[in-house]
């Protein structure tokens, strides 16, 4: 059977899986007795965005705070600024004192007055293709010289060759120019196109380094799990010199890219396995957070499988392990179960039954069995658990995966201000599963944490991204329009407090002594 046929069967199976998802998840978690991570039921994955068709009809609007349940945190005043966004994905506090928000399903950029939540503008980005799951309009970054040139960059999936085949979606990064006089965008220039796109694990974060280079995160495309479980993860695959010459970017999956603003390869990019390309780092699963420190260090946060979400400091040419290593190379709860290694038999296999998979030719690799060149361990994980951890002992019912030892980090920002005491130099990390924002305290060498993280702003929201005001006194947070989250009283819920919203978290006094440190 050809690979394309396997792909088609995998997708058909995936569609059936989505229709049966609650029962399937419950069945899997109640029947699995193996301490391995495989076919991850990821809270950011495609099947859990089934309400997107509803939220995509919303129009962002300024909101009253009457009778609205909001998160609380001592020392902060919390306000709902706007709501009815269509899966907001990226938020930036611009040098024009305007909040720029991408809407993944809405395929548009909404501009909001941070003082009162007034919607100033909504601009449709042409050419965005969104059909299901995690595709659509994703990351955005303003040019460092934006006030003078009006340039900004967005990442989005598009329909390759106007095909009706949903499997042919690709991703591009396009530069637009904003005209402040007409409040319109124009002069689109594709920086890079032909990147892989998927219904899952696109990542899609953009950032400018202090070196003036453009950085971009690409996930593993959701392979080896859910409806794509028969597709091989390529996070360790590297391009040949011929691939680079022919602009074949297939091997860029599961990587962080570094490029010039015209899309060309910087002369000082790392040479990996004898080839220089856009690849800055490799071995990533789903790095949805990307931030730059004042010293030029770059950090990513990324989703792990059923354990071991990671925060990493990027090193040129560094290998972050996926899919052979999740978290530390410690042979704990994770082993790499490679379903695609079963070949033609894969579409007939049940990912709940690893033993039967092994008998059919599925390979299983322990972390200690691999020796990856330039492996870089994470700064920290959420959470590493022992190899006897019971993944079936949950109280989340049909949304049992929400109770797994992960938090689903959706973004990452470095706080660079003295306004809030004790915060300067810390990382702020929104999460999807636990309805919390985590504060991380970096050690002097930036390779570990100096103290336990602090949990803040607990709610029943899926926090997607945050921006920080120039004076450092206010956080602006956007939330998902739909999806599951841990309920504060225990278990899981899909009834979000502030779906598709923009929240203002304003510092009014107090210190970290009143916040919750993880033990």
Active site residue 284: no
Cross-strand bridge partners of residue 255: 218, 282
Choosing from 201, 278, 284, 303, the catalytic residue is 201
d(CA 409, CA 487): 17
Kindly list the strands in the beta sheet with 99-103, ordered across the sheet, starting from the edge strand earlier in the chain: 88-93, 99-103, 108-112, 119-124
d(CA 260, CA 116): 37
- No. of helices (H) and no. of strands (E), the chain: 6, 32
d(CA 178, CA 140): 13
Give me the DSSP letters along 92-126: EE-TTS-EEEEETTTTEEEEE-TTT--EEEEEEPT
Q: Is residue 501 within 8 Å of 64, Cβ to Cβ?
A: no
d(CA 8, CA 287): 27
Q: Is residue 380 within 8 Å of 452, Cβ to Cβ?
A: no
Neighbours of 41 (CB within 10 A): 22
DSSP letter for 47, please.
Answer: G
Residues in the chain: 519
Instruction: Name the token pair of 490.
Output: 């225990």
Q: Is residue 421 within 8 Å of 461, Cβ to Cβ?
A: no
Q: Token pair 């109770």 is at which residue?
A: 403
d(CA 98, CA 109): 12
Neighbours of 512 (CB within 10 A): 19
Closest by alpha carbon to 235, among 301, 286, 192, 273? 286
The answer for residues whose C-beta is within 8 angstroms of residue 83's C-beta and 6 or more apart is 60, 61, 63, 498, 499, 500, 501, 502
Catalytic residue positions, numbered: 201
């Amino acid at each position: 059977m050809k690979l394309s046929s396997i792909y088609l069967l995998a997708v058909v199976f995936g569609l059936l899986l989505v229709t049966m998802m609650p029962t399937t998840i419950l069945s899997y978690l109640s029947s699995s007795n193996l301490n391995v991570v495989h076919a991850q039921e990821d809270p950011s994955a495609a099947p859990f965005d089934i309400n997107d068709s509803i939220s995509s009809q919303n129009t962002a609007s300024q909101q009253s705070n009457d009778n609205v349940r909001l998160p609380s945190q001592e020392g902060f005043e919390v306000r709902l600024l706007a709501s009815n966004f269509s899966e907001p994905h990226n938020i930036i506090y611009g040098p024009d004192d305007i909040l720029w928000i991408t809407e993944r399903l809405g395929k548009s950029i909404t501009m909001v007055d941070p003082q009162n939540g007034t919607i100033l503008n909504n601009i449709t980005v042409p050419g965005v293709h969104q059909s299901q799951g995690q595709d659509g309009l994703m990351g955005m970054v303003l040019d460092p010289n934006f006030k003078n040139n009006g340039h900004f960059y967005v990442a989005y999936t598009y329909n390759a060759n106007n095909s009706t085949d949903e499997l042919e979606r690709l991703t591009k990064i396009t530069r637009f120019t904003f005209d402040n006089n007409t409040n319109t965008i124009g002069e689109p220039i594709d920086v890079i196109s032909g990147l892989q796109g998927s219904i899952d694990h696109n990542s899609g974060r953009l950032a400018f380094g202090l070196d003036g280079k453009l950085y971009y995160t690409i996930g593993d495309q959701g392979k080896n799990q859910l409806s794509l479980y028969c597709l091989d993860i390529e996070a360790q695959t590297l391009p040949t010199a011929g691939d680079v010459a022919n602009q074949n970017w297939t091997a860029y999956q599961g990587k962080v890219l570094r490029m010039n603003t015209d899309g060309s390869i910087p002369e000082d990019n790392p040479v990996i396995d004898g080839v220089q390309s856009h690849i800055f780092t490799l071995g990533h699963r789903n790095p949805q957070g990307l931030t730059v420190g004042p010293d030029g260090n770059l950090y990513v946060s990324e989703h792990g499988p059923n354990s071991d979400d990671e925060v990493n400091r990027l090193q040129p040419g560094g290998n972050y392990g996926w899919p052979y290593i999740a978290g530390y190379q410690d042979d704990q709860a994770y082993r790499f179960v490679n379903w695609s290694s079963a070949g033609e038999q894969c579409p007939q296999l049940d990912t709940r039954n690893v033993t039967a998979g092994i008998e059919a030719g599925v390979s299983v690799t322990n972390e200690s069995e691999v020796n990856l060149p330039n492996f870089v361990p994470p700064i920290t994980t959420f959470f590493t658990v022992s190899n006897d951890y019971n993944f079936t002992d949950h109280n989340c019912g049909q949304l049992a995966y929400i109770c797994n030892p992960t938090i689903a980090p959706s973004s990452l920002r470095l706080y660079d201000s003295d306004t809030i005491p004790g915060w300067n130099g810390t990382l702020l990390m929104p999460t999807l599963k636990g309805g919390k924002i985590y504060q991380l305290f970096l050690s002097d060498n930036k390779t570990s944490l100096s103290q336990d993280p602090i949990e803040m702003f607990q709610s029943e929201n899926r926090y997607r991204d945050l921006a920080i005001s120039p004076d450092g006194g206010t956080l602006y947070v956007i939330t998902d329009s739909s999806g599951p989250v841990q309920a504060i009283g225990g278990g899981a819920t899909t009834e979000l407090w502030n779906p598709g919203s923009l929240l203002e978290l304003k510092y009014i006094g107090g210190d970290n002594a009143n916040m919750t440190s993880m033990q």
